[in-house]
Amino acid sequence: MVSLVVESPQRMSASQNVVVSETTRSSIITTTTNNSSSTQKPPTAPPGFISISKKKLLKNLDIINGGQRINAWVDSMRASSPTHLKSLPSLSSQQQLNSWIMEHPSALEMFEKIMEASGGKQIVMFLDYDGTLSPIVDDPDKAFMSSKMRRTVKKVAKCFPTAIVTGRCIDKVYNFVKLAELYYAGSHGMDIKGPAKGFSRHKRVRQSLLYQAASDYLPIIDEVCRQLVEKTKTTPGAIVENHKFCASVHFRCVDEKRWSELVLQIRSVLKEYPTLNLTQGRKVFEIRPMIEWDKGKALEFLLQSLGFGNSNSVFPVYIGDDRTDEDAFKMLRDRGEGFGILVSKYPKDTDASYSLQDPSEVMDFLQRLVEWKQMQPRM
């Protein structure tokens, strides 16, 4: 049994409540209601009991429940984006790593075998952005991809239909990638665009809209982002990003001592929005509409748009590093077509079949893919 370093072990909804039984509590606390008439005095509690109004009791219960939830969030924040296996004894961590690698071998080492498995089917490439095409950095606005990576992705797109699937909004990711020939699924797949008709390699053309799964949420996300900016401004290092159909609150640069304060701030905003979900990525909270749509659904939608809906002649390959990429890995496993590659140096619980260590290995893999394609006889 391998014990794993999991980036965001819990997927919790902001509206999920830990239920504390009132029956148990009533043995130590008696409650009084606020709707008793002004002439009626609330009954006094017998000696040894505390008298507390129902309103106050509910508030206190919420603090107790909230406290438990906040600790769970902070634990999960601590586990997010591990950078080393320090907490594990070195020998066993090496054994764990070896055993994980056996289960999720390097996509570079298995390259020939993977290509053999594609068996002449149409390869379609899906690429996550942060941590996959660009290295993870402190400032999300400075997550640039290298020119070499851009040239490589450009070559990949000449060989195979290629899509960027990201948590960021399309405009932001486009500013980093700058390739009009790609498909883009932004806001965790809730905003999908394709290369514009009449696309020219020489001039920038607007992508054409294919699907927006959460268009109703646009004003809500805008409002929530404004409130989150306001609420978190007293927490140094917190960064709020508006991704149009979803939002992110970064804690990579927030002092660990202030994490619970940040969770409280986020929760105090989200409690007014029961249709939004709170999940966690790499040192980031993700706020998303509570709808049945994710990167896996976006992948399926794109395959359908490309004419491979029920086809068994397609071989999709998805490369990603984060928790939200798991929905796409799972989709491929369930379809029994293609496979996922997880970008990680550390063992993680994943539905991906293969692994690559970091964006530079992703680039090597993509380059080999292009070379392999160029060697194939033309049909």
Decide: 355 and 107 in contact? Cβ < 8 Å: yes
- Residues 35, 37, 38, 44, CA torsion sign: negative
Residue 167 vs 338, nearer CB to ligand L263DTV3: 167
User: Is 323 among the residues that bind ligand L263DTV3 (CB under 6 A)?
Assistant: no
Decide whether 121 or 150 has the Cβ nearer to ligand L263DTV3: 150
**What DSSP designation does 241 have?**
E
User: Pick from 25, 282, 368, 373: which binds ligand L263DTV3 (CB under 6 A)?
Assistant: 282
Identify which of 335, 333, 355, 337 has the alpha carbon closest to the alpha carbon of residue 346. Answer: 355
Q: How many residues bind ligand L263DTV3 (CB under 6 A)?
A: 23
Strand-pairing partners, residue 212, are 191
140 near ligand L263DTV3, judged by CB under 6 A: yes
**With binding defined as CB under 6 A, does residue 340 bind ligand L263DTV3?**
no
Helix, strand, or coil (residue 279): strand
14 binds ligand L263DTV3 (CB under 6 A): no
The answer to the question of residue 168 lying near ligand L263DTV3 (CB under 6 A) is yes
Nearest approach in angstroms of CB 344 to ligand L263DTV3 is 12
Which span (17-25, 86-94, 248-256, 356-364) binds ligand L263DTV3, by CB under 6 A?
248-256
Strands 276-281 and 183-186, bridge-based pairing = unpaired
- The H or E element spanning position 361 is helix 359-375
Choice from 82, 131, 296, 340 touching ligand L263DTV3 (CB under 6 A): 131
Beta carbons within 10 angstroms of residue 72's beta carbon = 15
Residue 57 dihedral angles phi and psi, to the nearest 5°:
-60, -50
State which residue, 117 or 253, has the beta carbon closest to ligand L263DTV3.
253
Strand order in the sheet with 208-212: 208-212, 191-194, 183-186, 162-165, 122-127, 314-320, 339-343, 354-356
- Smallest gap from Cβ 162 to ligand L263DTV3, in A, equals 15
Handedness of CA 317, 296, 294, 281 (dihedral sign): negative
Binding mask 32-71 for ligand L263DTV3 (x = CB under 6 A): ----------------------------------------
Helix pair angle (326-335, 295-305), 10° resolution: 50
Q: Rule CB under 6 A: is residue 342 a binding residue for ligand L263DTV3?
A: no
Residue of the chain from 58, 64, 137, 218 that contacts ligand L263DTV3 (CB under 6 A): 137
Taking the complex as a whole, the smallest distance from the CB of residue 132 to ligand L263DTV3 amounts, in Å, to 7
SS3 353: coil
Q: Find the binder of ligand L263DTV3 among 7, 286, 351, 361 (CB under 6 A).
A: 286
DSSP SS3 for 196: coil
Q: Does 371 bind ligand L263DTV3 (CB under 6 A)?
A: no
- Which residue of 125, 156, 161, 167 would you call a contact of ligand L263DTV3, by CB under 6 A? 167
**From residue 377, how far is each of 121, 269, 317, 372, 373 by CA, in Å?**
14, 58, 21, 10, 9
Q: List the one residue from 121, 267, 283, 335 that touches ligand L263DTV3 (CB under 6 A).
A: 283
Residues near ligand L263DTV3 (CB under 6 A): 128-131, 136-138, 140, 143, 166-168, 241, 248, 250, 252, 281-284, 286, 322, 324
